[in-house]
Amino acid sequence: MAPIPLQRDTVQRPGTTRAGHAHGPRLASRTSLPGIPLAPSAARRFVRAALAEWTGIGVPAAVGFSDRLADDAVTVTNELVTNAVVHAGTTVDLVLRLEEEGGEEPSAALVLEVTDHHPARPVSGDEPGAGPGPAGTRPGELPDPAEYGRGLQLVATLADSWGITYRTGLKTVWARLPVDDWSAPPAPPDGEALRRGLRAAEILAPTARRAERDDAVWDSRAAPAFLAEASDLLAGQLDEDLVAAIAGQLLVPRLADWCAIWLETEGGGPAAEPRLARVWHSDETGTEPLRAVLEREPLRLPAGVGSGPVSVPVPWPAHPVEENRKRDGEGREAAPAPPPHPGGRDGAALAFRITAGGRALGTVLVGREGVAQVPEAVASLIEDFVRRLGLAVGAARAYTRQATISRILQRGLLPSKVAEIPGVTSALVYEPSDDGVVGGDFYDIFPCPGDRWCFVLGDVQGSGPEAAVVTGLARPWLRLLSREGFGVGEVLDRLNRLLLDDAMEAAEAAALMVAAAGGQQLHDGTQSRFLSLLYGEVVPLPGGGVRCTVASAGHPLPLLLRPDGSVRPAAEPQVLLGVVEDVAYESQGFDLAPGDTLLCVTDGVTERRSGPLMFDDGDGLARVLAGCAGLPAEATAERIRRAVHEFAEQPPDDDVALLVLHAD
């Protein structure tokens, strides 16, 4: 099997037509599905129903529908919708379109388009440890290769072509499947067929052909509109490869026939080779040959070149070489063989340096075929576009640096492994928000002397380096105080005083040092950092179950679930840590009998918003937990996690952390 194409590369097999560029009528059916686990099955039913309806109304191309085509379409739909639900978690828009192409060899194809509303998320999961994985896996845990990772292989194998289109706020993955054994009808359909076709009249439309490029349109109105569109699409993109992909689609074919974008390696020094991040050609069959030519030698501009256009030779011979000439069977010289790719004709090329903040970030090479030079107005417009591209690349790199610092801090703040409590099964869900800054939520489970096990779920006010430093101090302090034998309430008393004394000054100074090394800008260093905390200890009981003692300091209260489905709070609300000095924290004790479940969450769960509503309004969390009676810890944690995500269409904008303890 051929290797899976890169996530952000459009995939096209030679001799095919890309989705959206057919030359016949289009018949389309569309639907929207919520980003929930039931969406793939609903999508499968929708595709089968649409194909059956088209067959029933006598669509000409439907005579080529086969069981194999229907099965392939359902399989591709299932994989793409599942990918969108698992990795984006937003509403999914599904379009099934039938394209018919005329000509000497008529053909038809089914085109599937699956659109989600989270373009910052890639098509498949990021590297392990970068965030939450598929359902059923813990953060940082590699998914089972027997269950995940084969979706794109199936799409690449079954589809004639597939690819990805990025738009503002949207990401569309499309796949094209040819209709089997189809030929255009020899005569117009009879009157009965036309009457049946009236059902589809509202969704039949002629295909818009690609307009010829007209340089005269780049006047005082068109050029600013193009630059405004470019700024809107590039702004806010957090991945430099995604920025390069969008830039290629904007330049080709409106301003150029082909383009290539190299990006300098950050911190690589003058000897580092630039990376060919994107190659785009108006004729998709020419993209890979063009890439092969450009990869042989990266384009390097002289050091003194500014941001203006630089005329450079096209990167291939202007005419086919003699080796391309062939001889027929009688030894006579035949006509020249076609050039190896569409770029083999005469043309002109311009190079532009990508800069931001006085630093060179890369190079853009654009070319036009069949012309001696690129018009001056077009070159000036591309120069303005490249300036915006430089700002977008610079912003993406700044975000990447911030995210790298956050990941390093996050790894140091959380335990590499949580302890297992005898007689208790635990399940943990931790999903940091996807904002590139280290979160304020933290957790821990650890043993203590005296056959005790302690658990912690906390949330520092705010996020970023300041919150990270407080977390980095609070977690080891908690372990130290717990192992010294202090009771639950006493541990919170002492931790509260530690947060209010001179140690906070050290935390603020350390946060400023982190920020100076590349972190985000901080607020006034004298601002105190509040901490909400749920802390408890567990002691196994001789007859089964455990004795649990907990205290909540400004934290969402833990919920106790009995086997009969009843739910009650397991602690009393108390003031946040780090607010006032003279506080005496109290603890509450109870038995966790076999079959009982204790749920602990952060406010990323209870305050998850959908418009004006919050997830815990009207005891929403307790209602969901009541439906988990009889479930083991892992299943309970997964059901709560799924309910939190399904509460709103948009992904959570705060860290989501929850801990489930189930007495065996």
The pLDDT assigned to 9 comes to: 32
What is the model's pTM?
0.49
Between 602 and 298, the more confident residue is 602
Q: Which residues contact 556 (CB under 8 A, 6 or more apart)?
A: 532, 534, 601, 602, 603, 605, 606, 616
- Per-position DSSP letters for 378-434, written without gaps between them: HHHHHHHHHHHHHHHHHHHHHHHHHHHHHHHHHHHHS-SSPPPPTTEEEEEEEE--S
What percentage of the chain carries pLDDT values higher than 90?
Answer: 25
The pLDDT assigned to 33 comes to: 82
The pLDDT assigned to 304 comes to: 73
CA distance 258 to 243: 17
Q: How do residues 539-570 score in pLDDT, each as one tens digit?
A: 999 888 899 999 999 999 999 999 999 999 99
Q: Tell me, what DSSP letter sits at residue 49?
A: H
Is-cis flag, bond preceding 632, omega within 30?
no
Give Cα 479 to chain centroid, integer Å: 36
pLDDT score of 2 more than 50: no
Return the amino acid letter for 612: P
pLDDT score of 339 more than 50: no
Beta bridge partners of residue 631, listed in sequence order: none
Q: For the chain, give percent helix, strand, coil, nearest 5.
A: 35, 25, 40
Helices 376-413, 240-251: inter-axial angle, 10-degree rounding: 160
- CA dihedral angle for residue 588, residue 575, residue 433, residue 508, rounded to 10 degrees: -120
Give yes or no for a contact between 171 and 118, defined as CB atoms under 8 angstroms apart.
yes
Q: How do residues 364-415 score in pLDDT, each as one tens digit?
A: 999 998 888 889 889 999 999 999 999 999 888 887 777 776 666 656 566 6
Q: Which residues contact 558 (CB under 8 A, 6 or more apart)?
A: 534, 536, 550, 552, 569, 570, 571, 598, 599, 600
The pLDDT assigned to 320 comes to: 41
**Span 263-286, mean pLDDT?**
80
Residue 272: band (very low, low, confident or very high) from pLDDT cuts 50, 70, 90: confident
CA distance 508 to 159: 56
pLDDT score of 152 more than 80: no
Q: How do residues 173-225 score in pLDDT, each as one tens digit?
A: 889 988 865 544 444 444 443 343 333 333 223 333 344 566 777 766 788 88
Q: How do residues 401-445 score in pLDDT, each as one tens digit?
A: 777 766 666 565 666 667 788 889 999 988 877 555 555 788 889
- Per-position DSSP letters for 628-664, written without gaps between them: TTT--HHHHHHHHHHHHHHTSSSPPSS-EEEEEEEE-
pLDDT score of 642 more than 50: yes
